[in-house]
Structure 1
């Protein structure tokens, strides 16, 4: 989501606060060690789970086994929210990516994503690419990979006199 339209919501921001820049929101997504993915079950109930994700080419990516609850949910409803941030109310930045999760099967992109996972976590997340997804190196598989096609990214800045509610939307011009 290169250079989105950025708007501050003054209703939920401190007086005089400035919008969180896209660069700051993107940096939070790029550096997050943990995110939480919210999906919707077939009966409408929410499902939230922690996971590791990567931000590559201005998009969020995550992966899951095809039998895991989030994959089952995505088969019926692709709408998700990926959340990251701090567990403090008075400092830091919380960022949410809202959009549709679309399965990635392109071999070249999967290879780049596997390298991103490996580099991001000092080799702790090692995937081999094949059969339209990932396999754990030396282990089981398959692992489905998803891209979140962002409809909007919300950034919530926290701090004394700096509470902000910023919306970043794709620039559709």
Structure 2
């Protein structure tokens, strides 16, 4: 999401506060060490799980094993919410990304993402690129997904603000 439409929701913001700049919100997405993914099970119940995600080229990316609950859920319903931020009440910025999760299978994009995972966590997350997915050193496969945001919300704390970003 480049240069999104930015709107402050005054109902949930301190008087006189300005909307959070997109660059600050994007920085939270780029630097987050942990993100929470919410998917929907086939029977309508929510499923929430923490994971590591990478912001690259305007989308938030995550991966999962093909048999994991989140992968099963995405087969039936690709719509997700990803959240990250600070668990304190009076400081920081919490960010929510909403949109459909789409499989990433392009070799070049997978290679860029594998490098992004290695770089972001100083080598702790090592993926190789296999046939339309990541692989790891113990023979596992990880499906890779991209979420192009349909909406992003940023919740400023301390000085409270509620900023909404939508694609142009």
Shift of 1:141: 2.0
Work out whether 1:126 is the aligned partner of 2:126: yes
**Structure 1 segments of 4+ aligned residues over 2 angstroms from their partners:** none
Shift of 1:130: 1.1
Question: More deviation in 12-21 or 105-114?
Answer: 12-21
Contact 2:20 2:161 in 1 (8 A): yes
Q: Which residue of 1 aligns with 2:141?
A: 142
How far is the alpha carbon of 1:13 from its aligned partner? 0.6
TM-score, structure 1 normalization: 0.96
**Deviations along 1:69-117, whole A, 9 cap, x unmatched?**
0000000000000100000011000001000000000000000000000
Partner in structure 1 of residue 163 of structure 2: 166
Aligned pair 1:26/2:26, yes or no? Answer: yes
Taking structure 2 as the reference length, what is the TM-score of the superposition? 0.99
Please give the alpha-carbon distance, in whole angstroms, between the structure 2 residues aligned to 1:47 and 1:16: 37
CA distance in 1 between counterparts of 2:94 and 2:61 reads 18
2:98 and 2:139 mapped to 1: Cα distance?
A: 30
**Partner Cα separation in structure 2 for residue 55 and residue 149 of structure 1:** 10
Task: In structure 1, list runs of 5 or more residues that go unmatched.
Answer: none
Which residue pairs with 2:43 in the alignment?
43
Give secondary structure in 2 for the equivalent of 1:42.
coil
Number of aligned positions between the proteins: 168
